[in-house]
Every structure is written in structure tokens, then in C-alpha cells.
Chains A and B, each alone.
Chain A
Amino acid sequence: MVNELKVDPKLVEEFLNINKNIFEAPKLVRAPDEINMDMTPYDVAYSEDKVRLLHFRPTTERQIKTPLVIVYALINRYHILDIHPQKSWVRNLLNQGVDVYLVDWGTPTNADRYLGFDDYVNGYIDNCVDFVSKETGEEKVSIQGYCTGGTLATVYAALHPNRLRTLTLTAPVIDGQKDTTVVGNLAKHIDVDKLVDTIGNMPPEFMYFVFSVLKPFEQGLEKYVNFFKNIHDNDYVENFIRVEKWLSDTPPIPGELFRQWIKDVYQENLLIQSKMYVGGKQVSLKNINMPLFTQVAVADHLVSPESSMPIHYAVSSEDKSLQIYTTGHVGMIASSFSQKRVLPEFGQWLKERSNK
């Protein structure tokens, strides 16, 4: 008796095609290490310790005088804001005539383990704002904070409201108790004192674990199958490798900053209650009185919109907007959607509130 195995020939063909693509891949695709992540030209305007303030070169005539300082997140690097010419947050703003500065936090080492919120907010951010203000002659600047950078920007705005013309928060972590993501769930249960006291800085490997539990099957499996299926599509492949390289490169977070972050924002939820202290001063969200633009994404699986939106109601600003986009955490800043929807709205909002 012969057992016949019935397999659809199309299935076999697809399997063989993927196999062929896997073998061809090294000839068609650049290795992540060979890719330079810097796209839009910039100058390092100011640096302090490991922090650099990047000033992007204009692509068109400036439409507004008030400069924009982007405070990037503490996780991964700023390259996601300039990941691809057609999806670049920075380039889009430059094309709209905005003068763009960006804070690159660099790579903290063991020697930086005692850096805390005070150093980041009252030190680095304040010094960057100070520098931009002097260089441009504008007394006040606009700040945009993304993700954890949004939290830092919020604390800065509460402690130094007179330095800011406008504040834009893109997926900021504000109300840790309302965060319904896996990140929030893990953050609430971690013994952060033990981690910092024993290891020092928050190791990147810990973040890689957190990334791995976010969407394990879609992100860990399907996207690689799709990559090999689309290996002949240059644009797709280039974008894929750049995003992958960005994802796999996150610097450590200074120990004391991480400790206060987890405790005050996630575990004790002090920030939204205006009970957080930074540099000996109370962070009162009511001090935020400048125009505020909050951008959240409904499908954000890193910072849930419920965690970001409370800032809209906690500040004393009379001019404030809350925009909810139908995209995800990264989709809001580096996608075709963000180019078509998010950035034009942001640019227009900035123009209406800046010095011309």
C-alpha cells in the first residue's frame, strides 16, 4: 500500500521561492552594519557629556522664527525621526520651513549611573534650550517630546514654563496607572531599587526582552517571512533593514533616571498627580500654560493613549489640542500616514503659534 501525500503545487512553489530568496538575500541586501543611519544633514550645535544637540540644515526658506527643539525618547535612538527620505519627520518639518534642533542622548556608560531626572531636565534640556535661544535670538523656543522624551519635556515645561513658546507631546508617558500596555504591566512589578543598586544602568537587554513580548508572532515571525517574500523590492528592503537596525540599537538608561522614572511615573504615579519632585522642586502640571498639542495613537502598544491623554486635562493652558490618530506608536512619526496627516497638522499648528 502506497501512502500518497497530497500537497498543492502552488504551496510547493511558494516554499521554493522563499527558499530561493533566502539564499539570494545576502547578494541583494546591505548588512545592517553597512547602513549609515544619518539621512538629513545636520551640524552638532552643542554638546555636553554624551548629549548632542543636532541642528538640521534647512531645505527651504524658514517660515517661522521660533525654533523647534525635539526631545527624543530614552529608548532606541533618534534615527527613527529621520529613517527614510519619504518618511522622515525631521525632513518634513524642514520642508515646512521649521528650524529643527534635536536632542540626541548618546550612549550613557557606567560612569553616568548617577544621572537623574534633575540632570536631564534642569541640566541637559535646559542647557540645550538656553543654547538655541541664544543662537537664534528667540527668547522662547518650541519643544516637542516623543514617547519618554514627552515625559521629560512635560517635566521641563512644568519647571521652566517661561522658556517655551509651545509644547507638543507625541505619545508621552504621563499617567502610569492608566497605561494598559505590556510595558506598563512589567514596569509596575519590577523591583527597580534592586535592579539599579545591583547593576547600575538599565541594561539594553532588558528593553530587548520587553520588545520581544510586545507582538511576538507578528513582529517575531511574520515580518521576517514578509521580508524574504519582498526581497526584490528595494524600497521595502531598505526600509525594513533601517527599522530593524534602529530597533536593535537601544542605549542603556542611567540608573537613577530609570529608578525615578519607574517609581514616580509607573509605580507611584506621582507625575499626573503633580506630586513628583525633580531637583528639589515640585513638578506641578498646572504650571504648563503655553499652547499644548498632544498627539496620541489608538493602536499604540508601547504607550497607551489612556496614559498620554490625561496631560490634556491636567495643564492650565487655554490653547490646547488633543489629536487621536488611527495608527501606532512608530506609525505616528515614521510612516506615509504621518507624512500625510500628522505632520501637516503639526506644522500648521506650530506656524499659527510661532514668531514669523
Chain B
Amino acid sequence: MQASDSKKAQQYYKHVSLFWTDLLYLMMSKPYALAAAGPMRKFGTNMKKLTTELIDSNDDLVEFNSKLTEYYKQLTDTWAEAQKQFSKKIPEIPNDAEHLEASKRIWIDIFENYFTTLFDSPKFAENFGKLVASELELAKHWNSMISELLDNANLPTKDDINEIYKELHSLKKRIVRIEKDVNHGTVKRNGK
């Protein structure tokens, strides 16, 4: 119930933000265009994309926070369980230098065992996978905003560079294939 209310509130917030951004954009675009006659005009017209990215990233930020909270909860719960187990064992061991090593060993073994069980579990891996995925969603928004700024500044974006990398990769492959054909199936590159 609470989650659905918070979702509704978020949707409402998104709607209100978009409403005002759109309206202000419509109201301002013509006078703004008149004022921004030079290269910054592109920035003026595309500014809305930055706002939209920021608003959209809110949902992903909520998802990221929830997975991060779960991640820390799993760690702290496991720590508490391991500590409980250790506390049961420790009164049996005398508190002197001779037994310090034994206590340390028991502590490490208990904690190692509890944490390895956690890291080996599907529940940890599932949450971790989702945590990384939500972090990547945030990275995507960040990348989009940076791309927008780069594009407005007339600089190559990540997509532009990736396109070149892809082309380079395919060209290199073709060159190696041609070299192999010319050298009858062998490569002669940088050999001593």
C-alpha cells in the first residue's frame, strides 16, 4: 500500500515537473530562440532533454537505493548472526595469550563461514545483480546527459566514438584477413 502511494506521488511529481518544464519551454522558446541566435541555440532547444533525464533517473535512483539497502541489510544481518555464534563460543576459551590465536581462528572461521554462505546464496547474487543493473541505469542517464552536453558543444559523443571503434575493429579484421591471404595463411607483423 505504502509502496503504491509512493509510486503515485512520484508519478505526480514527474507529471508536475514535466508540465511546468513543457509549459515554460513553450512559453519561452520563441523569445529564447530570438535571443540565442548563435551556437548556444541548440543548447536552448535541447535543454528539456536534460530535465527529462533527471526526472527519469529518479525512479532508477529509488530502485538503486532499495537494492543498496537490501545489500547492506544482508551484510549486517549476516554479521549479527556470525557475532551471535561467536559470542556463544567465546566463554569456553580462556582469555590469555596462549588462547588468543585460537580465539582469532574461531572468529575468522565463523565469520568466513557465514559470509561465504551468504555470497554463495542465490538471494545475494540476485540482489547484487539487480543492484548493479540499477546502478547501470543511473549510469545510462548520466551518459545521456553528458552526450547531450557534448552534442550541444559540437563535440563527439560516446555513441559517435563507439561507432568509430566498431568501424576500426571491423577494418582491422579485414586487414588481417587480407594479410593472411597475401602471405598464404600466415601473419607477418611485428615479429622479431
A binding-site residues for B, Cβ under 8 Å? 8-11, 13-14, 43-49, 110-111, 113-115, 119, 123, 127, 130-131, 134-135, 180, 182, 185-186, 188-191, 194-195, 198-200, 213, 215-218, 221-222
Contacts and interface: CB of A to CB of B under 8 A. Distances in A.
B130 to A, nearest CB: 8
B91 to A, nearest CB: 16
B125 A188 contact: yes
**What does DSSP make chain B's interface, helix, strand, loop or mixed?**
helix
Nearest to A188: B125
Contacts of A110: 161, 165
13 contacts: A8-B97, A11-B96, A110-B165, A130-B187, A182-B120, A186-B128, A189-B122, A189-B128, A190-B129, A191-B132, A198-B136, A213-B115, A217-B107
Contacts of B185: 130
B189 A48 contact: yes
Interface of B: 95-98, 100, 104, 107-108, 111-112, 115-116, 119-122, 124-126, 128-129, 132-133, 136-137, 139-140, 143, 161-162, 165-166, 168-170, 172-173, 176, 185-187, 189-192
B139 A199 contact: yes
Contact of A180 (B95, B120, B140, B176): B120
Report which residue of A123, A134, A194 has the largest number of chain B beta carbons within 10 angstroms of its beta carbon. A194
Contacts, number: 106
A113 B107 CA distance: 43
Contact of B192 (A46, A190, A200): A46
B115 A217 contact: yes
A221 B119 contact: no
A182 B119 contact: yes
Contacts of B143: 198
Contacts of B115: 213, 216-217
B96 A215 contact: no
Nearest to A256: B169
B126 A182 contact: no
B186 A134 contact: yes
A114 B164 CA distance: 11
Nearest to A127: B187
A288 B147 CA distance: 47
A11 B97 CA distance: 5
B186 A130 contact: yes
B140 A198 contact: yes
The 6 closest A-B pairs by CB, nearest first: A10-B97, A189-B129, A114-B169, A189-B125, A8-B96, A191-B133
